Structures are given as structure tokens and as C-alpha cells.
Amino acid sequence: MTLAIGRYDSPIGALAVATIGDRVVGIDLGGSPAGLETSLVRKAGYPESGTPSPAVVARLRRYFDGELDALDDIAVDPAGTPFQLRVWTALRDVRAGTTTSYSALARHIGTPNAVRAVGAANGANPIPIIIPCHRVIGADGRLVGYGGGLDRKRWLLAHEGVRSQLLL
């Protein structure tokens, strides 16, 4: 199967979505299909052809329409190191409406001293929203770092029902 990249207009702005069949391989929060293609070709050598899976776009639409578990079992195929893949797999266990911290995530994957490495892997997540890196907050409960900006992170968490003074 070939890589397909297209644009999806969401409530948090345009997203570029890349799929191979019904597997998501990348999402660009800036909405740039060209930028996503460049990143994927550089990292994984994928060629581009076609538009993203209609099934994946439909699932994104359902999520943004309020069906918060619509993304839970979407197949993903991120390119990353074995450590990054462990972090990203663990992130998929963080359910909508909940948050975790970098230190809790490090403990969850059995590397309690690798908090900074977990943060770096979180920041390198090639499939945001579906691999929910927005659900990771600081140990003190503050909203910290998000490739799409803290306003998008705040919106996503509020959309998922996270109730916190931090979202105000």
C-alpha cells in the first residue's frame, strides 16, 4: 500500500493526516500536507500518493463531534526508536478525560529515571491526538509543552472533559 496525505479541517485548525491503508502514520498539527510528507519521507522513506483513508477521517470527525473513544483502536504505525515506541504505546493507555505526568509515564513503562527521555519521546510523537500526547501534564498539574501550542492542548483536554483550574 502507498502513503496517502491530505488535509482535515478540525475544530482546532487544519490537520494534515497521513495514512497507509487504514493505519495512521502521521498527523501534522500545522495542517501542512507538504511538511508532513517531507517529515515522513525523511524519517521512513515513504512515497506520497492519494488521499488519507476515509475511515480514519471519519473517526477523527466522530472524535471532534464528541465520541471520545472513536480514536482508541485506530491502527497506528509511527516511525521511532524502540524507546519512543514504548512511550507512544503507553500513551494510548491514557484514556480521554484523564491525564498523566511525564514521571508517571516513565514509571508505567518501567524506566522511572527516564523522565526527560519520556518527555523527549512525547515531544517527538508523529501522530498527535490519536497517540494522545496532549494528555501529559507537568507533575505539578500545570499544562506544559505541546507541539500544537498550549491553546490546542487546553481545547483538547476540555473537549475530553478534563476539569481543572489549569484549563481556564
d(Cα 1, Cα 110) in Å, to the nearest integer?
35
* Other Cβ atoms within 10 Å of 140 Cβ, number: 8
Task: List residues with catalytic annotation.
Answer: 133
3-state secondary structure at position 48: strand
| 7 touches 15 (CB < 8 A) | yes
Q: Helix or strand or coil: residue 74?
A: coil
Residues 6+ apart with CB under 8 A from 22: 53, 55, 56, 74, 75
